[in-house]
Chains A and B, each alone.
Chain A
Amino acid sequence: MTFDLTRIRKDFPILQREVRPGVPLVYLDSTATAQKPLAVLDAMEAYYRFSNANIHRGVHTLAEEATTLYEQAREKIARFIHAPSPRQLIYTRNTTESINLVAHTWARASLKSGDLIILTEMEHHSNLVPWHMLAAERNLRLEFIPVTAEGLLDLAEYQKLLEQGPRLVSFTQMSNVLGTINPAKEMIRLAHQAGALTLLDGAQSVPHFAVDVQELDVDFLAFSAHKLCGPTGIGALYGKTTLLEAMPPFLGGGDMIREVHLRSFKPNALPYKFEAGTPAIAEAVGFGAACDYLTGIGMAAIAAHEHEITAYALERLEEIPGVKVFGPGIKDKGGVAAFTLEGVHPHDVAQILDQDGVAVRAGHHCAQPLHEKFNIPATSRASFYLYSTREDVDRLVEGIYKVKKYFG
């Protein structure tokens, strides 16, 4: 199947809108959240219009249908990441909650004072703060794989850290600021060799290229639906079965139990053990539809398209005097271009770009330590997805020249 950009753009109603009269939207903030195709919107609306009911309780037709849709979505999502079984796919609210789940259950039950967790300097706050909190509670040690000046992980330092016998290595497969695609498979192999478990933050990788948990041999994978064209409010945690089975439950309540007595309970089987209370059912349906949509287009084709757009963006941005793009060259980079413009605060860049309908994000992108490392308070960030075009990049570049004129 060929990659038909015009048709793809027609799938996303929001891309048709004008930001204000006469100013079409140029959406370059998919790293924060992706836009949603009709396939997802329709699936969610159909669910509410036709099948809405609570799940796993009740035998009436709607309850059966809702349960089937919810579980079919789980199968689709599990298949999307090549999980051996849908029972290994736990619904959460987002990547952040998935990481917190591992911190609260596996880590809290398994780690003791003095144990070491290895993270990296390029982590999103969601893969830092849960560990800060647990480290304070359990007196754990945290070490960080350094980021080199080019924006790559220093793998020699990683090997040295591994000699200290970590219990867990938790890192992002792709940086949401630098765009760096880390060599996850090799890093996981080395972690296992050192006797550590691995948690992969897939928030940016799973939406943008094929991720195969079996090939990676990763122990845990966390990701969010909203970054892969699905709805907000739902995400997933994949885990290896033996680990998930041994872990204590997360939140307590309905659905996560097998039996409840006045003074005790028995947890439910996987994956329900980790899913307390009425879940985000329509969102799960939308999540599944999003995986189907992306699979239909093909993750390899999507990755190739983004690679081409990103290469073009780097080329155009680097020719603007005063612009500095952070992160590695195109070889190791996903569809993210975080940059500074000399003499202008990123917030002002983003605001002036917005006048022309160009939506970029400005700030530290929930990666404050990384910005501290590069000694900058903030960057502007343009990011790309399957629906991004070369014209989008051209509008961005024109906008930056306009910013320069204002502040010139």
Chain B
Amino acid sequence: MDDLYREIIIEHYKNPGYRGKLDPHDFSFADSNPLCGDHIEVTLRVGAGGVISEAAFDGHGCAISQASADLLLESIIGKSLDEVKQLTKQDLLDLIGLDLGPVRLKCALLSLKVLKAGVYGLGAASDDLVD
């Protein structure tokens, strides 16, 4: 359990590398976790060949949700939109290296849900995106 607050999580929570809002941007999406009020907005810039050149997230929430967002965005720079569409729940969990219960899983997956909804150009972020 102590692992939940491993240094990497606290570090990315306190000193995120990808916090902010890109203006202008090519993609954006925002959503909240109704349980705890976590809120994340992701903005992306896409370069030649549909490759993500810049990414940023804004919002507020628990350390798990915010650190997950930061780690996720760090991992997608240089990836294509198609690769982002293929990301799974397990990819994100591997990235943050945590084993989470059902409640905290929602916190961790919020950023992936938001990212994929934005890239797919959907109107709403469905839980199906991160199943």
Q: Tell me which residues across on chain A come within 8 A of B35, comparing CB atoms.
A: 363
B109 to chain A minimum Cβ distance, whole angstroms, is: 14
B33 to chain A minimum Cβ distance, whole angstroms, is: 9
Known A345-B62, A407-B10; judge A351-B104 contact (CB<8 A). Answer: yes
B26 to chain A minimum Cβ distance, whole angstroms, is: 29
B22 to chain A minimum Cβ distance, whole angstroms, is: 24
Q: Tell me which residues across on chain A come within 8 A of B5, comparing CB atoms.
A: 348, 351-352, 406
Which among A344, A347, A355 is the interface contact of B36 at CB below 8 angstroms?
A: A347
Known A406-B5, A406-B10, A407-B10; judge A348-B64 contact (CB<8 A). Answer: yes
Known A351-B4, A351-B104, A407-B10; judge A345-B63 contact (CB<8 A). Answer: yes
Is A382 on the interface with B (CB-CB < 8 A)? no
Count of chain B residues near A, Cβ 8 A: 18
Q: Tell me which residues across on chain B come within 8 A of A348, comparing CB atoms.
A: 5, 62-64
A239 to chain B minimum Cβ distance, whole angstroms, is: 32
Interface positions of B from 19 to 63, Cβ below 8 Å from A = 35-39, 60-63
Is A346 on the interface with B (CB-CB < 8 A)? yes
- Say whether chain A's binding surface is mostly helix, strand, loop, or mixed: helix
Is A377 on the interface with B (CB-CB < 8 A)? yes
Q: Tell me which residues across on chain B come within 8 A of A354, comparing CB atoms.
A: 1
- Determine if A364 and B37 form an interchain contact, defined as CB atoms under 8 angstroms apart: yes
Bound: A407/B63 CA distance, A: 10
- Determine if A377 and B10 form an interchain contact, defined as CB atoms under 8 angstroms apart: no
Bound: A371/B34 CA distance, A: 13
CB-based nearest B residue for A344:
B63
- Determine if B39 and A377 form an interchain contact, defined as CB atoms under 8 angstroms apart: yes
Bound: A345/B38 CA distance, A: 9
A356 to chain B minimum Cβ distance, whole angstroms, is: 10
Is A282 on the interface with B (CB-CB < 8 A)? no
Q: Tell me which residues across on chain A come within 8 A of B36, comparing CB atoms.
A: 345-347, 362-364, 377-378
Which among A355, A363, A368, A377 is the interface contact of B60 at CB below 8 angstroms?
A: A377
B46 to chain A minimum Cβ distance, whole angstroms, is: 31
- Determine if A363 and B37 form an interchain contact, defined as CB atoms under 8 angstroms apart: yes
- Determine if A347 and B10 form an interchain contact, defined as CB atoms under 8 angstroms apart: no
- Determine if B63 and A377 form an interchain contact, defined as CB atoms under 8 angstroms apart: no
Q: Tell me which residues across on chain A come within 8 A of B104, comparing CB atoms.
A: 347, 351
B32 to chain A minimum Cβ distance, whole angstroms, is: 9
Is B69 on the interface with A (CB-CB < 8 A)? no
A87 to chain B minimum Cβ distance, whole angstroms, is: 40
Bound: A34/B60 CA distance, A: 31
B21 to chain A minimum Cβ distance, whole angstroms, is: 19
Instruction: State the B residues within 8 Å of A (CB).
Output: 1-2, 4-5, 10, 14, 35-39, 60-64, 104, 107
12 examples of A-B residue contacts, CB within 8 angstroms:
A345-B63, A347-B36, A347-B62, A347-B104, A347-B107, A351-B64, A355-B2, A364-B37, A377-B39, A377-B60, A378-B37, A407-B63
Task: Beyond the given A345-B38, A377-B38, please list 10 additional residue pairs across the A-B interface where CB-CB is below 8 A.
Answer: A344-B63, A347-B36, A347-B64, A347-B104, A351-B4, A362-B36, A364-B37, A377-B39, A406-B5, A406-B10
